[in-house]
Structure 1
Amino acid sequence: MAKRPQLTGRAAILAIVVCAIAMSLAYPVREYIAQRRGIAELQAEKARVEADRQALAAQAEQIRDPNWIKRTAKERLHYCGPGEKCYVVMDAEPDKTEKTVKQPATRPPWYQTLWESVEAVDTGKGRKAE
């Protein structure tokens, strides 16, 4: 009895056709997935921008309120209305955590340095010759 070959001609052609179909579908499927990912990112960005827009609209509405303007001026700028007595309470002791920042010594302008050196030589306070 003769053994049948493992791979017939029909099977080989069928395998080639299946591979060709798979290869022709790979690029469009990859593009489809990339476009879906891009759409999802754009939708997330749109939601974020819409939330920002709503927050700004609420802030704009708040700014139009005259009572908010008066309250903010009193809190932040220490404004007083007519006929009001306003007080600012200062700490009796400065905060120990705050450190005074030393300002770097500023150099005088060049012409001042030149004039001081001329005056020093004229009065004899300059270097003594050996």
Structure 2
Amino acid sequence: MKKRPQLTGRAAILAVVVCAIAMSLAYPVREFIAQRRQIAQLEQQRAEALEDLRELGERSRLLQDPGYISREARSRLHYCRAGEKCYVWKDTARGSRSPAAGAPPQAKAPWYQTVWESIEAVDRGTGRRVEPGRTPAP
């Protein structure tokens, strides 16, 4: 009695055909999924752009109102109309916290000044660490 092989020629051909179909469908399915993802991103960008457009339209409408312009100039730029007396209030609570009474508050040094001072400190060999915004003591 002759033993039949487990893998016949027909089964091998069928396996090759199934693999070929699977391989030929893999790339289009991957592209389809990538395109769906891109469509979702574009829809989100469109929604954000529409929201920005709505906000800009509202801002444009506000800027057409002379009353709004007047209020903004008064609050932001401290403008006064002709003939008005305008007062600026000094915050006394902040002044009491300053180390020296009547001394102006110390402004933070610009970044380039801090870098230059640290380079000078290394050049002098002092080796002190200069914190950002502080001027080193001589």
Alignment counterpart, residue 96 of structure 1, candidates 81, 95, 98: 98
TM-score, with normalisation over the residues of structure 1? 0.68
Q: Distance in 2 between matches of 1:67 and 1:57?
A: 18
Cα gap change, 1:5 to 1:75, in 2 (>3 Å): same
Higher relative contact order (CA 8 A, sep 6+): 2
Of all paired residues, the percent bearing the same amino acid is 55
Q: Distance in 2 between matches of 1:102 and 1:7?
A: 82
Task: Classify the secondary structure of the residue corresponding to 2:86.
Answer: coil
Gaps in structure 1 of 5+ consecutive residues: 105-130
For 1:41, the equivalent position in structure 2 comes to: 41
Q: Report the RMSD for the aligned CA atoms in angstroms.
A: 2.5
Task: Classify the secondary structure of the residue corresponding to 1:23.
Answer: helix
Q: Distance in 2 between matches of 1:71 and 1:53?
A: 24
> Following superposition of structure 1 onto structure 2, how do residues 85-124 of structure 1 map, counting pairs within 5 Å?
85-92=85-92, 93=95, 96=98, 98-100=105-107
Cα gap change, 1:40 to 1:101, in 2 (>3 Å): closer
TM-score, with normalisation over the residues of structure 2? 0.64
Per-residue Cα deviation, 1:64-112 (whole angstroms, up to 9, x for no partner): 11111111111011111234322111134276394245797xxxxxxxx
For 2:59, the equivalent position in structure 1 comes to: 59
Q: Distance in 2 between matches of 1:60 and 1:87?
A: 31
Q: CA deviation at 1:28?
A: 1.1
* 2:76 is the alignment partner of 1:76: yes
Report how many aligned residue pairs link the two structures.
104
Q: Distance in 2 between matches of 1:83 and 1:11?
A: 101
